[in-house]
Structure 1
């Protein structure tokens, strides 16, 4: 029970006690007063009647006596009138039942009024003729007592409600800092280090708030230092010092990671730019002028990266490259024309003599192609542009439109048939503890089963599924199979992880479907983890934060796949911390050959441990790599050396 509720309950109990006490005192006092009034009223009536009845009894006229009693009794204020003779015998009795009016029976039982009788002797001179006894009817007294009780009760209830409202407002004012402290503590627990902006007036609460703010700020500053250190190592290892773009090593890692992102793009384009005779230009005009040219080109590319391209780098002394994803041929032609125009304009602005020229080549590719194939075609595009003359650009090897339509239509039909006939197979690969090889979780991969019963890998069908916006349906089908697998009595898997596409996460109907399914199967939710790749996780932080929050409310874990290469990734860890990260396989492999790459990896590990985020190394393919990872405090790993995928 909250402190506010406890205080309100205590106030209500105190009010109830005060209410009962005051009402008891008030009703009893009023009751005593009314009983005296009833006694006085009865006595006055008896005295008055003794005079008139004396004449009737003296004459022994009982008819007259009865008339006189009836006149008094019929006024309705009396319960009983009895006339006795001198010997104490009843001569006449007038009586009505006791009436309490419109008063609750329970109330009249609790506060019963005593109605004392009034008596008067009837005489004639010194001779006693009899006695009259009068008992008043208590109806009006009960009604007055009940009315008085209600009036006091309503006033007290109104006062209580007013006091309650004022107390709630006052408690809200007083306890609001405590709510903010609680929220800040929850935020810190979720690795978000916010500050309480309004300081309370109460000195004790002010001290607590100040201490909480100081703690949150110091933790945030410590993490900022870790992020800055990790980013510095990343820049040292993978950023070109002149252009601030990715260097060759960084670009290769990003490109290999991009090719491995099955289902995250259908088609992409690689654009290369090469400068001619840069060495002669540097010798003639100086390296400072040459660096100015390189920096100017990098600024043009950075503008493209921020709007169209996924990533870019300086891959050689005079060569640049960038990648765009999911663009039509017409769009890339427009972008290339704009890129060519801006580079030409840059050369004119820098007053560069015509002994420095450039060539631009572009080639389309899919995730089915290898890095070597893509760059071989890109080199061919560059050579074609160079042979066409200085400052030219060439688009090469875009697929023929007819073949694209035919292939695309065939893949769409194959995928839709697989969805309608539920032809999917699940494969699992273990993620193990590197120290003792115990299972941490199993990652689940999907395969499409064609009409001949052959397995079709995700690398082949996911790009076309992405193009035709079928990823949401595929993710639903795979998640449904995973639920059936985990609920199966023969299931041997404990905790599992599965990748979901950004296309699905961005779909509100998919989210509602998923969380409804998780709510119905809470036992499965506790054993499930969803993974987003690094690019998808950081694309829309607000959407990711909402998705992660809802997953955690369902006791589902969240992981980032292929982590460590994006420049935004370190800041993302602080803003929306996952439960674990899987280090990119290319990044993991570099630690055996590059000390700078290893420093970068260590900085990521240090930051993740500060945020209590588990770390999994991908592509662990040798015992030497296992030993090195353990030296750097990486506890979990995944790769063919640790376990191959097998059908679930």
Structure 2
């Protein structure tokens, strides 16, 4: 029971006790007073009649006796009047039943009123002629008592109503800081840390609010310290301190995960970039100059690779850099090789390198059965071949098997035709709890593209969909197909997770289409969760917050996929509150060893 209800009941109980006590005292006093009044009234009437009837009784004048008694009895204030002779025989008798129509029966039964007997002797000198008995009618007494009780009850009801209204309003005002404290505690549990600026005037409540403010600030500080520590440790373990790129440990972990994972189906390329004679450059320009060269080269590499959404850009050692890229077309691969070669020339043009021959690039395409060592070895061999070709050259390593590399136009035609003809295959993969029952949380939708090579996974074709601006169209196709093919005979609690591309987060027209589509399927929208890659979420936080808010109104959730892949600070999570995080596989797969 809420505190407001408890206080309301307490106030009502107190008022009721006060009213019952006051009514009991008032009614008791009134009844005693009326009892005395009835007794006095009956005795006065008996005495008066005794004096008036003495002569009539002595003369046995019944007509006069009846006239005098009727005149008094008809006033209605008496229940009975009797004239008795000396033997007790009634000479004249008048009786009537009390009229209590305006008084409830239960009230009469609970408050009996005495009807006292008034007596007087009929005398003629010293001779006794008889007795007269008079009983007053208690009906008027009951009316008086009922009126007193009724007026008291009405007054109590009015006072109680006013007291309740005032008490409820007052209690709400008094308890308002407590409701704010409750909201503050809920916000802290949801990773928000508000501070109440307006403090209550009540000292006790003020101390509670101040304590909650201190708690909110302390918890926020503790979490910030933990996040900072985690980010610092992660940077020390996996980030190169000079260039801000990944280090050799990150590159090795990334390569082992991509090539060893059965889920990702990695099909891509490894690029090795090496600056020439970096040791001599350090000796000539000093370590500060060498660090500046590495920073400039790292920034340029990051910028060139951004359009290809690389898995990793790292500095391996000295002036050796590496990039892991998803599958690209043959045209794009050649264009990137040329761009990297031109980048090395720009380092010379910018005055960082004294010699035009700035470095070389070696490229190796991933083949079936490649291990991290074999892929790195072939890329290194291509790098050595490029060094024999001349300054700023690049070389693609030969493969041990036939690798089908489509051109950019071939990829565009394949994806466009598949979108137009809806040539997609959808699979549902259950996601289960790690408990004894293996409860299914939801089903994740997996997209496959049929080709002459077989079914291509999303890791094979989505990089090219990004390159040709078709990723949003793919998202629309998947969402529409899932909603249209929703099983009508499935379980009532069926939940489905659909992957969204990062580019869709910034597409305003896609947002409008998605919300309108969900509005047409409200029963299914409440059982949908959309997964977005963490790197896209971190880059487009305002758009993601807006999308999460709109989806939440329709019952849909948002999860973050590949969490922990980049070097994004963890603090941004507090602002978006995703439904869940899917920790990137490279953390989970290496738990037994690292």
Short-chain TM bin: 0.5 to 0.7
2:110 & 2:419 partners in 1: Cα distance? Answer: 89
The correspondence for 1:427, drawn from 426, 429, 437, is: 429
1:191-270 maps to which residues of 2 (within 5 A)? Answer: 191-229=191-229
1:558 & 1:407 partners in 2: Cα distance? Answer: 27
1:43 & 1:171 partners in 2: Cα distance? Answer: 58
Q: Which residue is equivalent to 2:321?
A: none
1:356-435 maps to which residues of 2 (within 5 A)? Answer: 370-371=327-328, 373=330, 375-376=332-333, 379=336, 407-411=418-422, 425-428=427-430
1:60-79 maps to which residues of 2 (within 5 A)? Answer: 60-79=60-79
Q: Which residue is equivalent to 1:521?
A: none
Deviation for aligned residue 1:398: 7.0
Kept after mapping to 2: 8 A contact 1:187/1:194: yes
Change (3 A) 1:85 1:225: same
2:336 & 2:449 partners in 1: Cα distance? Answer: 36
1:234 & 1:125 partners in 2: Cα distance? Answer: 129
Deviation for aligned residue 1:74: 1.9
- Point out where structure 2 has 5 or more consecutive residues left out of the alignment: 264-287, 310-324, 344-406, 506-510
Q: Deviations over 1:124-148 (max 9, x none)?
A: 3333332222222222221221111
Q: Which residue is equivalent to 2:443?
A: 444
2:235 & 2:191 partners in 1: Cα distance? Answer: 25
Q: Deviations over 1:51-101 (max 9, x none)?
A: 333343233221232222222222222222222223211122222212223
Kept after mapping to 1: 8 A contact 2:332/2:408: no
Change (3 A) 1:398 1:532: same
Change (3 A) 1:122 1:139: same
Q: Which residue is equivalent to 2:491?
A: 484
Q: Which residue is equivalent to 1:316?
A: 301
Q: Deviations over 1:335-385 (max 9, x none)?
A: xxxxxxxxxxxxxxxxxxxxxxxxxxxxxxxx9x824557327549979x9
Q: SS of the residue aligned with 1:194?
A: coil
Deviation for aligned residue 1:566: 6.5
Change (3 A) 1:22 1:207: same
Q: Which residue is equivalent to 1:513?
A: 523
1:315 & 1:468 partners in 2: Cα distance? Answer: 31
Change (3 A) 1:75 1:443: closer
Change (3 A) 1:147 1:514: farther
2:114 & 2:43 partners in 1: Cα distance? Answer: 14
Q: SS of the residue aligned with 1:45?
A: helix
Kept after mapping to 2: 8 A contact 1:506/1:543: no
Q: Deviations over 1:527-569 (max 9, x none)?
A: xx87554346944326536867997xxxx99742122356766
Q: Which residue is equivalent to 2:564?
A: 564
Kept after mapping to 1: 8 A contact 2:531/2:561: yes
Kept after mapping to 2: 8 A contact 1:247/1:314: no
Change (3 A) 1:235 1:108: same
Larger radius of gyration: 2
Kept after mapping to 2: 8 A contact 1:56/1:65: yes
1:324 & 1:69 partners in 2: Cα distance? Answer: 123
1:158 & 1:109 partners in 2: Cα distance? Answer: 27
Correspondence 1:627 to 2:565: no
- Point out where structure 1 has 5 or more consecutive residues left out of the alignment: 263-286, 296-312, 326-366, 387-395, 419-423, 488-495, 519-528, 589-616, 630-648
Q: TM-score, normalised by structure 2?
A: 0.61
Q: Which residue is equivalent to 2:369?
A: none
Q: SS of the residue aligned with 1:135?
A: strand
What is the Cα-based RMSD across aligned positions, in Å?
Answer: 5.5
Kept after mapping to 2: 8 A contact 1:475/1:500: no
Change (3 A) 1:429 1:81: closer
1:628-647 maps to which residues of 2 (within 5 A)? Answer: 628-629=593-594
Q: TM-score, normalised by structure 1?
A: 0.56
Q: Which residue is equivalent to 2:548?
A: 544
Change (3 A) 1:224 1:450: closer
Q: SS of the residue aligned with 2:115?
A: coil
Q: Which has the higher contact order (CA 8 A, sep 6+)?
A: 1
Q: Deviations over 1:292-328 (max 9, x none)?
A: xx99xxxxxxxxxxxxxxxxx94528x5465599xxx
